[in-house]
Amino acid sequence: MARITRSAQLEKRQSRTRLKTGKNHWRAIHEGLALGYWKGKKTSSWLVRVRKDDGGYVSKKFAVADDHQDADGRDVLNYTQAHKRAQMLEPQLRYPDVAPTEQADPLVSDLLDEYLTKHKLESASWQSTEYAIEKMKVAFAGKRVSELTTAMLRRWHQAQAKPRSDSAESKRKARATANRKLTVLKAALNWGWSGPSAVADSWRAVKPFPKVDAPPAAHLSLEEVTRLLNACEPDFRELVEGTLLVGGRYGEMSALTAGNFNQEAGSILLPTGKTGFREVWLSAEGVAFFQRITAGKKRGERIFTHSDGSEWRQAHQIRRMRESCERSSIEPAVPFKALRTTYGALLAMQGTSPQVIQRQLGHADLRMTLKHYAHLLPNYVADEIRAKLPSFGVYADSKVTSIKVA
């Protein structure tokens, strides 16, 4: 359901008493849809007006306004209720030839498809959402939104939390994943459902698993970074060093070609799958490193390869990283992605702004950056509080001088 559009003229009974009698007063809800109020001498009414695809308009009187009697949610409506009813009536008036059931009560799969289309236009990181939605369409195949029950949705949510092993960490990760899927489902349903609020209660009653947030991501100290680099085999060391200088993901780093290095700008264009590229700025050391490692390579050649010239493929880094950690006495061993979090952590500890870290790491949302790195930012919380909390003037003119106690 869309947000309620505010209207100083129509929201309150007292405001409506000042409007001219015998005239329609309109308030746009969104493009092509408007809520109307007709004021009569004894009774007033709510109307809805829809612009059809052929450019024509159709309007309908659908309820009595609560000017002279309290709203009952059915025949007599207040402004908020009328606003929601107008949204529900829109598809019937716009597409009168389509069956009412299909208009007012869509298939869950159809609604999910529509939500995904919208999400792709608004988010650069929509692939994981698409994967989750395809699974949901299978789970709720043939179901209409009104057929969803709280019990059904809870069973589905719990089924998504099946762990790969009995370890506490595996169970935590499985529940966290189930929560993310539940968030996507609720977002789609809340966005697409315009029917009775009692139906929406079925999914709003399903609560996420508590206390499943991931612990702060592991990162290495500068001393551990030095030990790790010294313990890596030459071809793997190049990949590790490059990742520490760029902060990229393994898939992004292994796909880099010489043409992705912009020596003049001092930056790297990281390939980010279906969403294209993102530019990451390099330090002076980073520029020198990529100048050396790309020397003599053609634009389409991979920057990082195995010692035999073959490409780094999926999962090739796992064993190498584990063995390098063992040789460098880093316990417990950290995964390759710890190089990326080390990049972010070292920037944070040097006082880099969260917005810069977000841009370099390619986080879609600043909240993700703060979740992992805010605790490492010197005085970040204190500075935010002092900058944002307004003064109440309590001690503004205080002339009291504190006395130091010996």
Question: Do 241 and 326 sit in the same domain of this protein?
Answer: yes
The predicted structure's pLDDT at residue 387: 79
Structure confidence at residue 313 (pLDDT): 94
Residue 400 lies in a domain: no
The CA distance from 324 to 316, in Å, is: 13
5 found inside a domain: no
pLDDT bracket for residue 192 (50, 70, 90): confident
Same domain, 125 and 142: yes
What are the C-alpha distances in Å from 361 to residues 174, 243, 252, 278, 352?
25, 11, 11, 9, 13
Return phi, psi of residue 210, to 5°: -85, 160
- Decide: 299 and 259 in contact? Cβ < 8 Å: yes
Residue type, 260: N
Name the residue among 23, 47, 20 with its Cα closest to residue 36: 47
**What confidence score (pLDDT) does residue 122 get?**
66
Residues 69 and 50 in one domain: yes
Confidence check: pLDDT of 138 > 70 = yes
Both 194 and 58 in one domain: the answer is: no
What pLDDT, on the 0 to 100 scale, is given for residue 406? 54
pLDDT in tens, 77-97: 999 889 888 887 887 788 776
**Residue-wise pLDDT tens digits, 118-137:** 777 666 567 778 989 999 99
Find the angle CA(350)-CA(355)-CA(359) to the nearest 5 degrees. Answer: 100
Contacts (Cβ under 8 Å, ≥6 apart) of 192: 106, 111, 114, 115, 145
If you compute the radius of gyration of the chain from its CA atoms, what whole number of angstroms results?
A: 29
Task: With respect to residue 228, please indicate whether it lies within any of the assigned structural domains.
Answer: yes
356 and 297, same structural domain?
Answer: yes
Taking the C-alpha atoms of residue 374 and residue 353, their distance in angstroms, rounded to an integer, is: 10
In a domain, 61, yes or no: yes
User: Using one digit for the tens of pLDDT, what is the confidence trace for 26-75?
Assistant: 999 988 899 999 998 888 999 999 998 888 899 999 999 999 888 877 78
Q: Which residues, in sequence order, are bridge partners of residue 109?
A: none
Residue keyed to tokens 């290095």: 261
**Confidence class for position 378, pLDDT limits 50, 70, 90:** confident
Range of the domain at 268: 222-379
Is residue 245 pLDDT above 50, yes or no? Answer: yes
What's residue 71's pLDDT? 85
Q: Are residues 182 and 237 in the same domain?
A: no
Q: Does the pLDDT value for residue 2 go beyond 70? A: no
Is beta strand 24-30 parallel, antiparallel or unpaired with respect to 277-281?
unpaired
- Tell whether 21 and 39 lie within a shared domain: yes
Helices (H), 258-336: 284-294, 316-327
Q: Is residue 35 part of a domain?
A: yes
Q: Using the predicted structure, report yes or no on whether residue 102 has a pLDDT greater than 60.
A: no
Residue 110 exposed, middle or buried by CB count within 10 Å (0-12, 13-18, 19+): middle
In a domain, 308, yes or no: yes
pLDDT on residue 398: 54
Number of other residues whose CB lies within 10 A of the CB of residue 34:
20
C-beta separation of 152 from 139 below 8 A: no
Residues 241, 349, single domain; the answer is yes
The mean pLDDT of the chain is: 87
pLDDT at 48: 94
Residue 278: name the closest of 368, 367, 360 by CA: 360
Average pLDDT over residues 280-298: 96
Q: Looking at the structure, do residues 256 and 347 belong to the same domain, yes or no?
A: yes
pLDDT, tens digit, for every residue of 331-359? 999 999 999 999 999 999 888 999 999 99
Report the percentage of the chain scoring pLDDT > 90: 55
Asked if residue 81 and residue 182 are part of one domain, the reply reads no
Closest CA to 181 of 107, 115, 131: 131
337 assigned to some structural domain: yes
pLDDT above 90 for 283: yes
pLDDT of 295? 95
- CATH number where 265 lies: 1.10.443.10
C-beta separation of 217 from 372 below 8 A: yes
The mean pLDDT of 228-240, rounded to a whole number, is: 97
Residues 154 and 232 in one domain: no
pLDDT at 274: 45
* Structure-token pair, residue 6: 């505010």
pLDDT at residue 211, as a whole number = 86
Tokens at 280, concatenated: 């990451």
The 10 Å Cβ neighbour count of residue 188 is 25
Residue 101 pLDDT greater than 70, yes or no: no
Do residues 270 and 135 both lie within one domain?
no
Q: Quick one: which H or E segment has residue 38? A: strand 33-38
pLDDT at 1: 46
Range of lowest pLDDT (186-195, 271-280, 307-316): 271-280
336, HSE (Cβ side, Cα atoms, 13 Å): 23
pTM of the shown model:
0.56
Domain count, the chain: 3
| Per-residue tokens: 311 | 């490409």
In contact, 225 and 237? CB cutoff 8 Å: no
The Cα-based distances of 91 to 49, 124, 226 in angstroms read 11, 30, 64
Decide if 385 is inside a domain: no
